Structure 1
Amino acid sequence: MKIVRFWDGNKVSYGSLADDFIRPIEGDLFGEYAISNKSLGINEIQLLAPCEPTKVICIGLNYYDHAKEMNLPIPEEPIVFLKPSSAVTGPGTNIIYPHQCTRMDYEAELAIIMGAVTKNIEPEDALDNVLGYTCSNDVTARNLQPKDGQWTLAKSFDTFCPIGPCIATDISADNLSIKLMINGEIKQNSNTSQMIFSIPFLISYLSKIMTIFPGDVIITGTPPGVGPMEPGDTVTVEIENIGKLTNVVTLK
């Protein structure tokens, strides 16, 4: 199933997407729910970020081919940082180029959407707590990244975490093609099989540090080919079996 979150002009709802039609979900997406018989055309609604996380947990340097590109050693443990929930935006929205930024980079990433409270879980049980997966763009003000010795400033501006367009459930995410295009030109092209740390390992590792709540997002690192975006650029992240996340870079 592909789950979307949308605005129909009156309220925000979740729904099941198939063939450009959405059937609203009634009840609690993270508990008990039913799928309505009502149907809406995708052109009748506005797609939103597919969840409302309390936090976005981010993994750095998690692709073998990216580490090779950067001439960096393979990390022995995951590199972890956070983005605030205020950075989250959805498909079709603008990525704002802040005045403090002199270089804004794209980073295509697979995002895990958690479906249950997760704490101190073991890798063999971790996938049971996953709702599904979506596309993400870990937008970075690259000139600010080394400024304070860590990455929070560079990663946390509003709109710096586009996610969407849907949450794909019941798929395996360990062998998916992942691409990023700028104005239709492919800039990143890899596969999630290149991940250094597996999804079950990451969930377990993080859950032993912090409680992860339903709707929280874990973005899992970027493949090679990271580079700059400019105002006016159309940026698309495409992941196999999930879909395309498209945003436009703007100064305002």
Structure 2
Amino acid sequence: MRLARLRVDGSSLPDGALWARADGAAWVPVEDPFAAFARGEAPADLAGAAPVEGRFLAPCEPLLVVGIAQNGPEHHSPVQAWLKSPRTVVASGVPVALRRDAGVPAIEGEIAVVIGKDTEGLTAANAHEYVLGVTAVNDVSSPDRAMLDPRNFEGKGGEGYTPLGPWIDTEADIDEVPMTVRIDGVERVSTGTWDLPASIRECLEYVTRWLRLGPGDVIMTGAPRSNFSVEPGAFVEIEVAGMVLATQTH
């Protein structure tokens, strides 16, 4: 199932936001998918609701965004993690202003995992049971700050530096997720979970051993050969499990 948050004109919900599932090219309003996930069910259609049109919002509102450090083919360190402010999360298509005071900016195409329920009891073996689904994320960064900023506060803190979406794929296999990164229409890498030294399951087990997560929290699982320097004006597309996250920089 593809699940999205849409801003719909005339909706009675806060900010006009509602959950919807894809039905071909249409979007059908559904109940809160996290409440349904807690029951072990797919979200039910809202009674009497007709298909809607609207603008994609970020597909969830995380309280925590966790990044996995050095999880690419060139790194062989033990799994490590860091935190990124959820206030940097924006929807697909939202323009992102690259900082001019922090060196050469970079984009990192990553597979993002959306947690479906409280992670108490999560292990590598049962990790899939706690995952609502996967989505695409662009971990925009200022890597030149790393020498002075080893905690990633400055390097990861730009306004809108976490484009996320456009929807959540609840049927993706967390053990085998493909990803492609294109910049200005040119494919730069075709990769996926198979290029991650630490699997998504291992990442989830590590993070939740130190920090309990909850519904809507996001783990960015690392950049498998998908880190590229960019200039203002670059148009970045990150395709994960068939969905395309678009970021226009300026």
State the TM-score, normalized to the length of structure 1. 0.89
Is the CA contact 1:55–1:85 (under 8 Å) kept in the aligned structure 2? yes
Residue type of the partner of 2:45?
I
Residue 185 and residue 3 in structure 1: after superposition, are their counterparts in 2 closer, same or farther (change >3 A)?
A: same
Residue type of the partner of 1:161?
T
Q: How many pairs does the alignment contain?
A: 238
2:58 to 49, 52, 57: 49
CA distance in 2, matches of 1:149, 1:193: 28
Aligned-pair identity (%)? 26
CA distance in 2, matches of 1:165, 1:225: 19
Matched ranges for 1:98-113 at <5 A: 98-113=99-114
Alignment partner, residue 30 of structure 1: 34
Q: Deviations over 1:111-161 (max 9, x none)?
A: 000000113522222211100000011110122222222322101222111
Is the CA contact 2:193–2:200 (under 8 Å) kept in the aligned structure 1? no
CA distance in 1, matches of 2:110, 2:226: 12
Is the CA contact 1:81–1:152 (under 8 Å) kept in the aligned structure 2? no
CA distance in 2, matches of 1:206, 1:238: 25
Is the CA contact 1:2–1:167 (under 8 Å) kept in the aligned structure 2? yes
Residue type of the partner of 1:207?
T
Residue type of the partner of 2:34?
F
Q: How big is the alpha-carbon RMSD for the aligned residues of Structure 1 and Structure 2?
A: 1.6
CA distance in 1, matches of 2:155, 2:50: 41
Which structure shows the bigger proportion of residues in strand conformation?
1
Is the CA contact 1:120–1:208 (under 8 Å) kept in the aligned structure 2? no
CA distance in 2, matches of 1:155, 1:195: 21
The offset of 1:225, in angstroms, is 4.7
Is the CA contact 1:107–1:222 (under 8 Å) kept in the aligned structure 2? yes
CA distance in 2, matches of 1:100, 1:79: 28
Is the CA contact 2:65–2:86 (under 8 Å) kept in the aligned structure 1? yes
The offset of 1:202, in angstroms, is 1.5
The offset of 1:176, in angstroms, is 2.7
2:51 to 26, 29, 40: 40
Is the CA contact 1:188–1:226 (under 8 Å) kept in the aligned structure 2? no
Alignment partner, residue 18 of structure 2: 13
Structure 2: state its 5+ residue gaps.
11-15, 37-42
Alignment partner, residue 212 of structure 2: 211
State the TM-score, normalized to the length of structure 2. 0.89
3-state SS, counterpart of residue 246 of structure 1: strand
Residue type of the partner of 1:111?
A
